Amino acid sequence: MARIHLDGVGHSYDGGRTYALQPADTLFEDGRTYALLGPSGCGKTTMLNIVSGLLFPSDGRVRLGERDVTRAAIADRNIAQVFQFPVVYRSKTVFGNLAFPLKCRNWDKPRIERRVSEVAELLGLTARLGRSARSLTADEKQLISLGRGLVRDDVAALLMDEPLTVIDPQMKFDLRRRIKQANERTRHTVIYVTHDQNEAMTFADEILVMQAGRVIQRGAPAELFERPLNTYVGTFIGSPGMNFLPATQEGATVLIGDAVIRSDVRAPVDGTLTVGVRPEHIRLSQTGAGLPARVVAVQDQGNVRVLDVELAAGGRLKAKLPREQAIPAGEVRIVIPAQHAHIYADGVRADV
């Protein structure tokens, strides 16, 4: 296993006219699990393929540990990759599929058997080891692809490109748990590509949020949720995303309409001011204080309800409330707790 260092790495598919991945330094620490998260076309697969060696970057150097592998072939990098669609040897049994990478490395039979049975157990495949891969469902085939990635304990990294796309939504949750458990034992360096924030949030130690070929914020899931660096991350992370409301500043005070939201601002905010607040942190006032507003729609999501609210001062927001909380008809008053009111200037977090 190894730390992966992308040193000024970028890639242009058109000879430098445009960059699918903007040149930058990116570090993946040994033994941690990372998710590359972002919308279609933001450069996730390009970055992953540069690490695996499927693609040579047009700019920068790739290092695995101390080794420069920028131009090294895939086979020389000792990296396992799991793709969106399962890759299995249909003529082999489940055991044969899992054992294959180990046989290629000349492991002896008892060692192979021990390792395959460990991984099969982790992935819940033990009862199916003797079955032909041909007879398996798509979910089971993808489990085997994952198992082949996990079976080698000597890989420098395990890369996964949207591996759960073909999986039935019901099974996704279970599979995510199994992959996570399996990796807690093997401690591979894992890079996991996804455009699904739930997948990234539940799976990764650290998430790299990408936009237009750049990593625009990286951090633990809770950090991205609590302290988005810009309005893009605030909106992208969370369901629904963070609310952003036009605000004004008077000295140390930030106001929405004439309601004081924060009164501890140390410096003047330069640029167009907005207050960001998560739907989860908004409360309905019980006392008559707060921002006058009107509930325009309520969406029932089972254990919570999402309110679509129009503020009298202008602007709309979403509030997430516990299902049992009564929602008054007509006018309401909205409370934005100061500790959850984040200040943004021209879309960028202002630490003031």
E runs forming strands in 66-169: 67-68, 79-82, 157-161
Q: Is 276 near ligand ATP (CB under 6 A)?
A: no
Q: Does residue 194 bind ligand ATP (CB under 6 A)?
A: no
Q: Which residue in 157, 125, 126 sits closest to 139, CA to CA?
A: 125
Chain CA centroid to CA 62, Å: 23
Please check whether residue 271 is in contact with residue 264, taking contact to mean a CB–CB distance below 8 angstroms.
Answer: no
Among 46, 97, 217, 243, the residue binding ligand ATP under the rule CB under 6 A is 46
Q: Choose, by CB under 6 A, the member of 6, 12, 33, 44 that binds ligand ATP.
A: 44
Whole-angstrom Cα Rg for the chain: 24
For the window 21-40, what string marks contact with ligand ATP as x by the rule CB under 6 A? -----------------x-x
Nearer to ligand ATP, 46 or 58 (CB): 46
From the DSSP assignment, how many helices (H) and strands (E) are in the chain?
A: 8, 22
Beta strand ranges found along 177-303 (DSSP E): 190-194, 206-211, 214-219, 243-246, 248-250, 253-256, 259-262, 273-277, 283-284, 291-300
Binding residue for ligand ATP, selected from 8, 16, 41, 337, defined by CB under 6 A: 41
Question: How far out from the chain centre does Cα 123 lie?
Answer: 22
In this chain, which stretch among 41-49, 132-140, 282-290, 336-344 interacts with ligand ATP, using CB under 6 A? 41-49
The answer to the question of residue 159 lying near ligand ATP (CB under 6 A) is no
Q: Of the two residues 141 and 195, which places its CB atom closer to ligand ATP in the complex?
A: 195
Closer CB to ligand ATP, 42 or 208, in the complex: 42
Query: Among residues 53 and 315, whose Cβ is nearest to ligand ATP?
Result: 53
By beta-carbon proximity to ligand ATP, the closer residue of 45 and 197 is 45
Site string for ligand ATP, 58-97 (x = CB under 6 A): ----------------------------------------
Which of 337, 340, 280 is closest to 306 using CA atoms?
280
Does position 287 interact with ligand ATP (CB under 6 A)? The reply is no
Among 45, 156, 160, 153, CA closest to 143: 160
| Residue 250, beta-bridge partner list | 253
**Residue 55 C-beta: closest distance to ligand ATP, Å:** 8
Secondary structure of residue 208 in the 3-state scheme: strand
Q: Choose among 182, 186, 98, 91: nearest CA to 133.
A: 91
Say if CB 9 and CB 61 are below 8 A apart: yes
Q: Closest distance between ligand ATP and the C-beta of residue 85, in Å?
A: 13
Applying CB under 6 A, among 1, 9, 20, 158 the residue interacting with ligand ATP is 20
Site of interaction with ligand ATP (CB under 6 A): 13, 20, 38, 40-46, 195
